[in-house]
Structure 1
Amino acid sequence: MGLPSFDSFSPSARQNVWRGDELGSADMPVLGTGHPALDAELPGGGWPIGAMTEVLQAAPEAHVWRLLLPVLSRAVETRGGPVVLIGAPYEPFGPALAAAGLPVEALMWVRSEASAARLWACEQALRCADVAGVLAWLPQARVGELRRLQLAAAQHEGLLFVFRPESMAQSASPARLRLQVVPAEGGQMDVHLLKRRGPPLAMPLTLPARSERMTALLAASQLRRKRRMQELQGAQEEANPGTTVVRLDLRRKEGQSHAMDRVAVAA
């Protein structure tokens, strides 16, 4: 006897059947990511609560805050508890995070180089009901250890993000949601959805890697620099008609010597 077709189910039963070619609905609470394009591609429209989200990157610190700041600020505001950082590669810059809505006093930084100590700290943080979210950098974690964290997260009503090297993209993972973040041109980042409840996403999502305010400040700074160079060049040409202003590149290329080097050798 063959399996019944999807069309043979009653309308009420169809609502409880997930088809692999459709984006699944969330069977657990979610929090919006703060990025509408990303929300549209995630089951339920946000980061899962009570489950592990795995983020793969070439550089362990790349784009973490720009990607997660919106949801962390909301989680702290909703739950009132801290965000625990375990094994963060660099000390967070408090003023910038506070300006984005995440107060410094809401952060708890656990520093350790030992993989076992990081795993232990992560499990302990997940057992604290007041913790709003856990961000753990676990480059050496094995599948069995990640599975244990997934089970711990299922008993916790908070957020869990685990950061690992992008070289682990082809390895198995118990994470409910898995994505890879890659720097892109023009102050952007490409987000590849490697695992979700739904069909694979053929093309990555391109999200801003900088805040709108920072992007505006950088653009204004570049414009001011360009105008200063034009004014300087105009003033020099006015003082010395017929001359050409050349900007010297003082960075020495490999195998190439400067004129001063040749003078020194001749001497």
Structure 2
Amino acid sequence: MGLPSFDSFSPVARHHVWCGDELGLADAQVIGTGHAALDAQLPGGGWPVGAMTELLQSAPEAHAWQLLLPALAQAVQGSTGPVALIGAPHEPFGPALAAHDLPVEALLWVRSEAPAARLWACEQALRCADITAVLAWLPQARVGELRRLQLAAAQHDALLFVFRPERAAQSTSPARLRLQLATCEQDRTQIDIRVLKRRGPPLASPVQLPARSERMAALLAGSQLRRKLRRQQEGVEPAAGTATVVRIEAWKGGVHALDRLAVAA
């Protein structure tokens, strides 16, 4: 007895059947990326909520803000909770982010070099109902650890973006969506975005987006300057095994309410 053909299903049943050669429908909420060319290639037309999106690139923070700022700005408008940055390589430059409609008060930067502390902080953030989104730089995370984060994101309907190095593309991942980001070799003003994993057929050609705007150039320049000044002032790095929540400079001054130290259990 053979399998039934697709045409034999009722119209309602067909809607719930995904064909491997078609772009799948989102099975949960999505938030638009803010980039029309990319939305057209993603199931549901945006970033999946309650699932992990994995971003692979050679430089940890090279294209993070250019890619994610529109969606993060949209997400915080409908939420009272912060965006948690776990292990971000550089301190975000508040004025430039605010100019892109992402207020500095909506950011929580957890600084740590220890892999275990980053994973702990990321999992705790995902379990917090007040967190709007989590951006985590986890270059050494293993598959089992990523599965725990994926489960935590699904249980609390959180946006989760995990940054890993390009070499991780050769390993398996529980991420719902995997993208590889790189500066276009033919045109350095563009980003090549290769879709490595999605619910749909492989994407033959990369999606291209502008590498940076004038505002983004100001963000990067300000971030580099502040990092240099901080190193000169502090002269020391945080102790291994700790995750430090750092005050990010406000748009017009003021004190951040989330200055505290969190130590991994």
Instruction: Bin the TM-score by the shorter chain.
Output: 0.7 to 0.9
Percent identity among equivalent residues? 76
Counterparts of 2:204 and 2:131 in 1: how far apart (Å)? 35
Task: Report the counterpart of residue 38 of structure 2 in structure 1.
Answer: 38
Q: TM-score with structure 1 length normalisation?
A: 0.78
For 2:197, the aligned partner's letter is K
Q: State yes or no: 1:84 paired with 2:84.
A: yes
For 1:78, the aligned partner's letter is G
Counterparts of 1:181 and 1:89 in 2: how far apart (Å)? 17
Structure with larger RCO (C-alpha < 8 A, sep 6+): 2
- Match of 2:53, SS state, is strand
Q: Show structure 2 runs of 5+ residues with no match.
A: 218-265
Counterparts of 2:106 and 2:121 in 1: how far apart (Å)? 17
- Match of 2:152, SS state, is helix
Task: Report the counterpart of residue 236 of structure 2 in structure 1.
Answer: none
* Stretch deviating more after TM superposition (1-10 or 152-161): 1-10
**CA apart distance, 1:214:** 6.2
**CA apart distance, 1:105:** 1.3
Counterparts of 1:117 and 1:170 in 2: how far apart (Å)? 25
Counterparts of 1:30 and 1:211 in 2: how far apart (Å)? 25
Counterparts of 1:153 and 1:106 in 2: how far apart (Å)? 19
**CA apart distance, 1:8:** 1.6
Do the aligned partners of 2:96 and 2:215 also contact (CA within 8 Å) in 1? no
Structure 1 stretches (4+) deviating beyond 4 angstroms?
A: 212-215
Q: Show structure 1 runs of 5+ residues with no match.
A: 216-267
**CA apart distance, 1:34:** 0.1
Do the aligned partners of 2:86 and 2:134 also contact (CA within 8 Å) in 1? yes
For 1:200, the aligned partner's letter is P
**CA apart distance, 1:45:** 0.5
For 1:210, the aligned partner's letter is R
Task: Report the counterpart of residue 209 of structure 2 in structure 1.
Answer: 207
**CA apart distance, 1:186:** 3.8
Who wins on radius of gyration, i.e. which is larger?
A: 1
Q: State yes or no: 1:10 paired with 2:10.
A: yes
Residue correspondence of structure 1 range 115-194 to structure 2 within 5 A: 115-184=115-184, 185-194=187-196
Q: TM-score with structure 2 length normalisation?
A: 0.79
Task: Report the counterpart of residue 264 of structure 1 in structure 2.
Answer: none
Task: Report the counterpart of residue 94 of structure 1 in structure 2.
Answer: 94
**CA apart distance, 1:9:** 1.2
RMSD over aligned Cα, in angstroms?
Answer: 1.2
